[in-house]
Amino acid sequence: MNRDTFKGQWMQLKGKVRTQWGKLTDDDFEQAQGNAEMLIGKIQERYGRSREEAERELDRWLEQQRMSKAS
């Protein structure tokens, strides 16, 4: 899974995203609405990550989701 397909699958993935990044608020989720760039910004803000760290974290997570779906 990549960032492009993330938006299309937002409703299905939202619960998993909440589990992964529990510090994100309901407002954060409403603002992100499947937008990977916005979610990266929220991860940065809530977890004190650099932009690059947040991007890598999201990309790793998306790859894990793709791999688990393929199994």
Mean of per-residue pLDDT scores for the chain:
92
Structurally, the chain folds into a number of domains equal to 1
**DSSP characters over 15-39:** HHHHHHTTT--HHHHHHHTT-HHHH
Looking at residue 8, which CATH number applies to its domain?
1.10.1470.10
Q: Computed from CA positions of residues 34, 56, 44, 67, in that sequence, does the dihedral angle turn out positive or negative?
A: positive
Predicted model pTM: 0.87
| Residue 6: per-residue pLDDT | 85
pLDDT tier at 21, thresholds 50, 70, 90: very high
| Residue 42: per-residue pLDDT | 97
pLDDT tier at 69, thresholds 50, 70, 90: confident
Q: Range of 51's domain? A: 3-70
Integer Cα distance of 46 and 33 in angstroms: 17
Tell me what the mean pLDDT of segment 8-31 comes to.
Answer: 93
